[in-house]
Amino acid sequence: MPLSNGLSSQLKKDLITMGFKMHSSRFRTIRSKDPNFNLVDGMLVIPRAGFEVVKECPREYRLIIQDCLERGWLKPVATVYDHELTFDMLKDITQ
C-alpha cells in the first residue's frame, strides 16, 4: 500500500533510512487555471479536458450543468503523466 505524500519531511527521511521507499506518483492533475492546461500547436489553443453533453441530454439537465459551470461548482480537470508535462515544457522552451 503506497504511503501518503502528506507525511512530514523528517518522517520521510526516517522511513527511507529504515529501508522504505516512498511511492511517487507519475500522474499529475491539471486544473483549468494552471498554465499547462491548454495545449498549444501553432495558432491553435485547445484545453486538455472539457465536457461533452450529448444532444440526447434533457434540456433541464443541460441548464443545470450550465448553471454549475457558471457558478464554478463544476470544473474541468485533466490527469496526465509527468513526462507529458516535461515534454510540453521542453517544447515551449525550444520554440
**What would the pLDDT profile of 35-90 be if each residue is shown by its tens digit?**
888 888 878 988 888 889 999 999 999 999 999 999 999 999 988 888 777 767 66
Q: Where are the beta strands (DSSP E) in 1-95?
A: 27-31, 38-41, 44-47, 77-81
- Residue 13: the pLDDT is 66
Q: To 5 degrees, how large is the angle CA 16–CA 4–CA 47?
A: 120
Q: Judge whether 80 lies within some domain.
A: yes
3-state secondary structure of 5: coil
CB-CB neighbours of 34 under 10 Å: 14
Q: Where are the beta strands (DSSP E) in 32-88?
A: 38-41, 44-47, 77-81
d(CA 81, CA 48): 13
The parent domain of residue 81 ranges over 28-94
Q: Judge whether 60 lies within some domain.
A: yes
Q: Judge whether 5 lies within some domain.
A: no
Domain count along the chain? 1
Q: Judge whether 62 lies within some domain.
A: yes
Q: Judge whether 52 lies within some domain.
A: yes
Cell (9 digits) for 91: 517544447
Q: Judge whether 17 lies within some domain.
A: no
Cell (9 digits) for 37: 492546461
pTM of the model: 0.54
